[in-house]
Structures are given as C-alpha cells and as structure tokens.
Amino acid sequence: MRMHLLRASAISFVLAWSTISNLGAENQPLYLDANQSIETRVDDLLSRLTSEEKISPIHADSKFTTAAIPRLGIPRRWLDDGPHGVREDIGPDTWNPAGRTDDFSTAMPCGICLAATWNPELGFSEGKAIGQEARARGKDIMLGPGVNILRTPLCGRNFEYLGEDPFLASQMCVGYIRGEQSQDVSSCVKHFALNNQEFERGTINVEVDERALREIYLPAFKAAVQEAGVWCVMGAYNQLRGQHCCENDYLLNKILKDEWGFNGLVMSDWDGAHDTRECALNGLDLEMGTEKKYDDYYLAQPYLKLLNSGELPMAGLDEKVWRNLRVMLATHVLDAGRKPGSLNTAEHQTVARQVAEEGIVLLKNDGNTLPLDTGKLKTIAIIGENATRLHAHGGDSSGIKAFYEINPLDGIVKRAGGKVNVIYSEGYRKDGGADLAERSVAAAKSADVVIYIGGLNHDKGFDCEGADRKDMKLPYGQDELIQKIVAANPKTIVVLEGTMVEMDSWLDKVPAL
C-alpha cells in the first residue's frame, strides 16, 4: 500500500509539473519561444513595442551600441570593427581607447592576404574564428568583411578588401560570412557600394555605367546576400549618381531589398547619414556614428516627430524595426544557450598562421634562391624597418589589439639563429637618419645573404583608412636603398609587406621577391 501511494504521489507530481510547464509555455510570449519561426517571433515582438521604443533600435546610443528595451528583455546591442578581428574597445562617446585589459583579440591577416590564398575554406575558418572571439567579447554585429573592389592601387583601404577580381572576392566573402554567422554573431558586409577611394570619400559623387556597376562593383555584395545570407549591410560614404549611398533609393531599396531579396538590416557607416527624410524613405534601417547628440540623430527624435505629425508613414518605421529585430533573433540574443565564444585558442592561432602562409606570394625565385639552406650559410643580414615593426594595431578602424605579434626578425632568429649568425640593420625610418643606409650596406657586405624586409606600413597615407597614397613608390627612400644593398650583395631577397608598389628600378637585380 505504501509503495502504491508513493507511486501515485510521484505520478501526481509529474502531472502537476506537466500542467504548470504547459501553462508556462502557453503564457510565454511568442517572441521568446525559440521553437517558433524567426518571422513569427519578430512579428510578435514588434506588436508589443511603443512608438518611443521602436525608435531605440534604429539609432546608436553610444559609438558602438544601440539601447536596450528592458521592459521586453531586449539587451543593449554591441557592434564592433572589423574585418581582421575584434577591435579594442573605445570610450562610449569618444574614439579614444577605453583602456581596458580584457579587449585583446587574435589578429588575422589582412583581407587582401586572405584573398591571395584563393581558399574559400580558409575564409570560412577565419570568419568562424573571428565570430567566436566576437561572442567571447560580447559583440553582436561585426563590421566586415570589406568587399570593395580594388579600382585604384592608391586606395588607402585596399589592404582591407579582397582584391580586384569580382569572382574571387565573391567566393572569399561567402565563406567568411558563413563562418562568422555560424557563431551567433552577424557579419556586416561593407561598404555598399563603390567606395573605392578614401580621398573625399564623404562627398565624392561616383558616376558609373550600369554594366560596370553590375559586373565589377556589385557581385561580391550580391553573393554576400544571396549565397552567404548576410544579416547586415553597411552603406558607403560616397554618393552614387548624386545621392548618398546610405540613403540611396536605387542601391538600398530597388537593388538590395527588392531585387536581391535582402531581409536583414542596412546600417550607415559612421557619420554616413545626412537627412531624416532621405534616411527614412530610401532604405536605411540603423543610423550609427552621426556627430550629434544621440536623441538628435536623423532616425531618432527628428524621425519620431515627423511620424507623429503624419508627414512620414508609420509603416516605414515598422519595417526598419522589423529588420533590426530579425537580426537580433537570428543571432539568438534572446535565447538560452547562445554560443559563448572563445579567445585566442590554439585553433585561432593556427587559422591566422595558415592564412598568412597561404597568402604570402612568391613573385620571383631565380636559380632556386629560396628556400635558404642554413647548412650552407654563416651569416644572414636582415635589413628594413618592417623587420621589427608591429602592424596589427594600425590601419585605423581595422586595427587589432593583439595578444602578441611575432615580427619577421624574431621569427627568423627563432628559425635560423641557432645555426647561423643573424645581424640586423634598420636601413630606413620615417624621420630619416644620415647613416642608416651606410650601416645597412655594411651589414649586407658582411653577410652571405640579405633578407630585405620593407614595403608599406599602416601610417596615414599608406595602408590606412582615411587617406589615399600619392603614388606607388616605396616610401622612405627604399628604392634607392635596395639598389645600394643589391650592389653590395647581389644575393638579396626582397620581402614586401603591404599592397602593390612600383619595383621597376631594382626588380631585375634581385634573385628572389
């Protein structure tokens, strides 16, 4: 009898708990039910928002966030640069670093290096690694990849992008986006479109014929939308045919949303929005970085005022909010079990190294100069500032606060230093130096082989956001320096870091490049 009563009690408890659970499920809002479709959840959540609340997801409340809606459990949303890893945190209302000690990340090779691997699987691996680190750092949207076509070799941001070939850029960005978004973080492909120079980027009006637009400048963006399923697109600074790209009806409404069927959100580049009506009507869904008080953003109180007066339709606001909410729910911001992420794991380090290894391009190797045989050498001279310069933190918005960075000199010493004598001479620097060249020539004469490590860096005016190069020459007198070094030691291997440069004054004189 006692066992029978215990069993009956157990059955009663299970039935009672089942009833409570079912009641809980019935009372649970649809937007919190992960078993529902994203569209159903978004529709339900949108219906619960007030007009004031609807405004908050469509404009920033700090440099890289949008506001939370505590009443409905919507958390603050965090965005971050960039295409090469998770940028260090900055202050909420300033571009100055926040001074944190927990905002390091793995520095991935630049976009043009990733493209040079010709390996879409590596694109997936890099995107996945960055996505995992973004989640570990609490980010929801990552501003990358950059897929603007390399139209001019002088563009300061060429190093960030995936090269000059539309098909290659398309293939590489698809893998990257799929990898990153597999980690419950949204990619944001940028900069849509025709942002192919930094000079006067905020004002220049690009005129392009339709065939060039479709065959050269749009394919990578189209692949990002239709093949990768990217959740965010960032508008460009420049104008297309007289209208700013962040509020361009043809680009954002007609091509991106209507023709390509994009159902994610379009955000402005920072300070890329210019007018409330244009933003409201021409396809912008999220305004970031405008140099105003946050409530004065074009899609903040000025927009709400026009909505409440009936001058702009509420349906337009609902669409913008719907797209923002859809990206939130696609990245599982309201769901239990969202992927926690990880930082600088052995896997991430391996990916970074593999991309670098496969992206390095051997342009010349006369007489099998490479690889070097340390068994036949006594002294190697390493010459060039880039042999010791750290690059990860440079380039402006794509800069990374790396856990560590192995410079070429350290790498060579570690690889060969136990077998041969390695000497170093700086050779050149930004502010010059009267005897730098002479000392490097002396070092070259004393060595069996020279490895010259030069090229560009991330200083403004070279491989860096915000300015274009003035020419394709190597900076700091490197062309003349290389000629002097080769004259002193014909067995000189040249290693160039950065994007394309002129080499005609010395190329035929060096055996390996």
Task: Name the nearest CA neighbour of 83 among 65, 116, 99, 107.
Answer: 107
Greatest C-alpha distance within the chain: 104
Rounded Cα distance between 406 and 390, Å, is 8
Contacts of 28 (CB under 8 A, 6+ apart): none
Contacts of 153 (CB under 8 A, 6+ apart): 469, 472, 499, 500
Contacts of 49 (CB under 8 A, 6+ apart): 69, 72, 321
Sole residue written with tokens 């919190």: 32
| β-bridge mates for residue 233, sequence order | 189, 266
Question: What dihedral angle (degrees, nearest 10) is formed by the CA atoms of 453, 455, 460, 464?
Answer: -100
Which residue is catalytic, options 269, 285, 396, 463? 269
CB of 264 closer than 8 Å to CB of 230:
yes
Asked if the bond preceding 332 is cis, omega within 30° of 0, the reply is no
SS3 content of the chain, % helix, strand, coil (to 5): 40, 15, 45
- Reduced to 3 states (helix: H, G, I; strand: E, B; else coil), residue 97 is strand
Task: Name the nearest CA neighbour of 315 among 280, 275, 269, 345.
Answer: 280
- Reduced to 3 states (helix: H, G, I; strand: E, B; else coil), residue 411 is helix
Strands 239-240 and 243-244: antiparallel
CB of 513 closer than 8 Å to CB of 503:
yes
Rounded Cα distance between 170 and 223, Å, is 6
**Residue 269 annotated to the active site:** yes
Rounded Cα distance between 475 and 429, Å, is 9
Asked if the bond preceding 371 is cis, omega within 30° of 0, the reply is yes
Active site residues: 269
